[in-house]
Amino acid sequence: MANRELVVLGTASQAPTRRRNHNGYFLRWDGAGLLFDPGEGTQRQMLFAGVTAHQLTHICVTHFHGDHCLGLPGVLHRMALDRVPDVVEVMYPGVNEDVYQRLRHAALFHDALLLVERPVVSDGLVSTTEAFSLEARALSHLVPTFGYRLTEPDGVRMLPAELAARGISGPDVGQLLRDGRLGDVSLAEVSEPRPGQKFAFIMDTRLCDAAFSLADGCDLLVCESTFASADEGFATEWGHLTARQAGRIAAEAGARSLVLTHFSQRYEYGTESRLRDEAAEEFGGLITLVNDLDVVPVPPRR
Ligand SMILES: [Zn+2]
């Protein structure tokens, strides 16, 4: 099992189809587990994908259209049933606090959940851990919607040859990392910068500056691509992206890889490769057009 990967739980926009569940995405990031936009049926899709309630550390909802949140009550219920003992952070558009509260308390169950709710009211940082920070930016949809971006802090990579040349090994390496210096050897002499990895999640939006900011330099970018270019008029009217626009965002933002998902049911299952082709005309990096239960690894560090 990779340490960092996207587990795709569902890929349908608006209504599930025979082959595609409502949205749902689980990002495994070392010891953290971030669930994005749990649509209807997410609890069962987690079962199929081997994702357990105990693995959830964060839940991020972009907006409260049903295909992005109707699975939240089921997931919360399951977390309670499985007696998840840990604190789980929940992010969502704060202006719709009433909708969140209805979903939070949609059913009766023994409720011992330890949720830390972080309603998002403006662009900026929404959560930090030692391993990453999570920021949100308002997108351009029909209802209040935020995209999310996970950023790992930059670090350093030790250079074994340089360490060996100076006779540094074992616990001394740890001390050098902590103190930035060991005797007359500086950390910079025996290491090189290691850029942190970045992930972005962009759902339900027209083209907007925030989408490009969220995607900036991402290792893995998940982007809705509801429509083909021929239906761009619908995309603009209903606050969505075409696959070509998703490709443009990835290209202009310098993303390394792009996941296309959230497909309109108007495109018959198996014929969506045209969406990938349209995105590929804009973006030369790796494009993965996902189906339910696909697993997409975060690309290895540069
Ligand atoms: Zn929507």
Span 159-213, pLDDT tens digits: 999 999 999 999 999 899 889 899 989 999 999 999 999 999 999 999 999 999 9
How much is the pTM?
A: 0.93
The per-residue DSSP string of 28-71 comes to EETTEEEEE---TTHHHHHHHHT--GGG--EEE-S--SGGGTTT
Pairwise CA distance, residues 279 & 284, whole Å: 9
Catalytic residues: 67
Q: Ligand 1: distance of its center to the CA of 21 in Å? A: 15
| pLDDT, tens only, 210-248 | 999 999 999 999 999 998 888 889 899 999 999 999 999
Q: Ligand 1: distance of its center to the CA of 182 in Å? A: 54
Q: Ligand 1: distance of its center to the CA of 15 in Å? A: 11
Q: What residues contact 300, with CB distance under 8 A and at least 6 apart?
A: none
Q: Ligand 1: distance of its center to the CA of 167 in Å? A: 58
Q: Ligand 1: distance of its center to the CA of 166 in Å? A: 58
Q: Ligand 1: distance of its center to the CA of 63 in Å? A: 7
pLDDT value of position 2: 64
Q: Please list the helix, strand and coil fractions of the chain in percent, rounded to the nearest 5, in that order.
A: 30, 30, 40
Pairwise CA distance, residues 72 & 105, whole Å: 10
pLDDT value of position 289: 96
pLDDT value of position 144: 97
**Segments of the chain scoring below 50 in pLDDT:** none
Pairwise CA distance, residues 286 & 50, whole Å: 26
Question: Exposed e or buried b for every residue in 203-235, given b needs 16+ CB within 10 A?
Answer: bbbbbbebbbebbbebbbbbbbbbbbeebeeeb
Q: Ligand 1: distance of its center to the CA of 240 in Å? A: 8
pLDDT value of position 40: 97
Q: Ligand 1: distance of its center to the CA of 140 in Å? A: 10
Which residues sit opposite 263 in a β-bridge?
12
pLDDT value of position 231: 85
